[in-house]
Amino acid sequence: MCRSKLLISLVFATFIASCSTSPTGRGQLIFKSDAELEAQAASTFNAYRSTLPLTTDRAKIDFVACVAQAVVAELHPPYSDIEWELAIFADKQVNAFAMPGGKIGVYEGILEITEDEHQLAAVIGHEIAHVTARHVNERASRAAITSIGIEALAVIMGGGYTGGAYTASQVMGAGAALGMQLPMSRSQETEADIVGLEYMAKAGFDPRAAVDLWQNMAAMDKKQPPEHLSTHPAPKTRIENLISQWQKTLPIYNQAIADGKESNCKKTWE
């Protein structure tokens, strides 16, 4: 049971904990303030944009922006009140991310794996869900409790697409409390999948495409670690969880289409 105020001494610092509930009803213990994380995210995002090359391909920019804008349009306050920023990096890494304060980063490599706008919406919806469900805040707070350094936290929060799921041995050297971190990471990934499906369905993207996406990912990366030693669910588990949500998300998608929200975002390059 989470108390409204919990004092924990860590390296002579005292943190005030607050209780909250995730979008799927999971209890969360939060130490880090949203303002603090948003400031850190803004600094990191600007550093990425200044050091990594940005794509100049107009077709790719328009395509990603079209999908991202459609998903963001379905958010509720306070996230609908944010002016979301998008950066598309000219990098073959198969990854994407979203940060507190409304920052979205997409690597060109993910565009080679996502076959259409629906699969890209599954990626972007998932990453935005990490922000709206306050997963970054939760992980940063848990990292403070377990004395995990910033390097280990970066590892734990890897993208989870091809090559992005990290094993326990990779994190252990940085002092992570794996019994706490790995199960939490997997539960957050599942939660982001669930919430992300709703976002994409509301925006007029077919939630069934998320299964196609993860089948593509599984086919590309056959060296996934065992699930109990990974920060992310195994592709098979992930696909089963996504399919289990169709009964809920397909009616949402059908209503969005009936309301005229069918996507007009199309890939125009080979």
* CA–CA distance, 114 with 118 (Å, rounded to integer): 8
Question: The pTM is what?
Answer: 0.77
Place 144 in a pLDDT band, splitting at 50, 70 and 90.
low
38, 74, 117, 127: the active-site residue: 127
Give pLDDT, residue 217. 82
More reliable by pLDDT, 182 or 218: 218
DSSP for 107-176? Answer: EHHHHTT--SHHHHHHHHHHHHHHHHTTHHHHHHHHHHHTT--HHHHHHHT---STT-PPBHHHHHTTT-
The 10s digit of each residue's pLDDT in 208-245 is: 999 999 888 888 766 654 433 344 567 788 899 999 99
Count of CA atoms in the C-beta half-sphere (13 A) of 40: 10
Predicted pLDDT at 232: 58
Window from 33-47, 69-83, 150-164, 181-195 with minimum mean pLDDT = 150-164
- Is 127 known to be catalytic? yes
The pLDDT value given to residue 137: 81
pLDDT tens-digit series, residues 89-142:
999 988 898 988 999 999 999 999 999 999 999 999 999 998 999 888 887 766
Q: Give the type of residue at 244.
A: S
Q: Is pLDDT of 26 > 60?
A: yes
Confidence tier at 28 by pLDDT (50, 70, 90): low
Contact present, 211 and 243 (Cβ < 8 Å): yes
Residue 140 makes CB contacts below 8 A (sequence gap 6+) with: 31, 32, 37, 153
For residues 159-175, average pLDDT: 48
Q: Is the pLDDT of residue 20 over 60?
A: yes
Mean residue pLDDT across the chain: 78
- Is the model's pLDDT at 24 over the cut of 60? yes
Q: What is the DSSP pairing of strand 13-16 with strand 7-10?
A: antiparallel
